[in-house]
């Protein structure tokens, strides 16, 4: 690197430093690949060799990860990738807020997630839009669990529209729970990631956590609750209005969805799209839009989302040209 600069980072706690570098320096190797720098670990220091901007990003990333370890958080691969994203120049304003649950601490792994964490603190109703893999539902469940643990709310309501069955579940085999579980499985998975299994089971039996299809919310007023409406792009405007008006005293709601993945019959407007137009200037409503840059799954998922986004942009451009002819 002819234009390389060298940066020396010192870390006072060698125990934490071992967690930072990872087994066989695996964390440092991943950072080298992601940031195109060379990292060398000796004693309580890590030296960085790279272009000035890359070296600066690597320095910010290393100190951010070290701070996470100092707070008792064990590093996973996603934490490494997230720290790289939030060390980018436009990531300086990412919220340092974190959510604590029984089993783990969840912090921002992208700029969009930082904005999301802040919105969840600042608003009673939050709309989270964007592709799969951005943490929309996962972070919402984490926030709900943390507020339940703190005694701020009494119940967690997790809901999805069972659009594949048209909300008419009677023709499916099994009891009601067996009929709706396939649609709600991602919500259960997130719960078990936040809380011990026996505690999840106990809260489900007591009704303090309720996982149900959207149709089951009709006619209810949900007070002292954290309500999550997932896959909301598959609601109709009538269903969405019904869901939003369930909010009772001391309750919060998060509505997640991806407007590029609507499964409603052709010609039926998405309730999520309708709500965004209707509630655009309503006080107390927050909106967070995620992009492919916020995808925190495998790198390939990010590239797939970007490819679809490019295709959709080209289609819109062609449609616009055809209309103007």
Rounded Cα gap, residues 113 and 99, in angstroms: 12
> Tens of pLDDT along 26-65?
999 988 888 889 999 999 999 999 898 888 889 988 988 8
- What element of type H or E holds 31? helix 26-35
Structure tokens at 163: 């659009």
Per cent of the chain over pLDDT 90 is 40
Rounded Cα gap, residues 306 and 310, in angstroms: 6
Q: Which residues contact 25 (CB under 8 A, 6 or more apart)?
A: 41
> Tens of pLDDT along 154-172?
999 999 887 543 444 444 4
Burial 54-63 (b: 16+ CB within 10 A, else e): bbbbbbbbbe
pTM listed for this prediction: 0.69
Rounded Cα gap, residues 219 and 58, in angstroms: 53
Rounded Cα gap, residues 305 and 291, in angstroms: 9
Strands 45-50 vs 38-42: parallel, antiparallel or unpaired: antiparallel
């Amino acid at each position: 690197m002819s234009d390389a600069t060298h940066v020396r980072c010192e870390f006072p706690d060698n125990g934490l430093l071992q967690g930072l570098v990872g087994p066989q320096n695996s964390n440092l190797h991943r950072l080298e690949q992601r940031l195109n720098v060379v990292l060398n670990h000796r004693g309580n220091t890590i030296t960085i060799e790279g272009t000035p901007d890359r070296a600066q990003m690597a320095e910010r990333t290393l100190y951010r990860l070290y701070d996470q370890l100092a707070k008792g958080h064990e590093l996973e691969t996603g934490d490494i990738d997230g720290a790289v994203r939030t060390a980018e120049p436009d990531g300086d304003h990412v919220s340092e807020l974190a959510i604590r649950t029984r089993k783990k601490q969840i912090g921002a792994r992208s700029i969009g997630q930082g904005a999301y964490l802040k919105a969840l603190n600042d608003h009673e109703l939050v709309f989270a839009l964007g592709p799969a893999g951005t943490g929309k539902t996962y972070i919402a469940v984490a926030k709900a669990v943390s507020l339940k643990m703190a005694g701020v709310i009494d119940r967690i309501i997790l809901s999805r529209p069972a659009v594949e069955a048209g909300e008419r579940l009677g023709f499916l085999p099994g009891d009601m729970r067996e009929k709706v579980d396939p649609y709600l499985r991602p919500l259960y998975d997130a719960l078990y990631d936040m809380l011990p299994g026996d505690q999840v089971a106990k809260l489900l039996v007591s009704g303090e956590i309720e996982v149900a299809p959207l149709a089951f919310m009709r006619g209810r007023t949900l007070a002292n609750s954290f309500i999550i409406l997932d896959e909301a792009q598959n609601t109709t405007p009538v269903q969405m209005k019904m869901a939003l008006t369930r909010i009772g005293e001391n309750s919060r709601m998060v509505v997640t969805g991806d407007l590029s993945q609507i499964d409603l019959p052709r010609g039926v407007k998405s309730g999520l799209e309708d709500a965004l137009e209707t509630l655009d200037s309503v006080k107390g409503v927050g909106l967070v839009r995620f992009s492919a840059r916020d995808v925190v799954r495998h790198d390939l998922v990010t590239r797939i989302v970007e490819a679809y986004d490019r295709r959709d942009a080209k289609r819109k451009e062609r449609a616009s040209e055809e209309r103007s002819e």
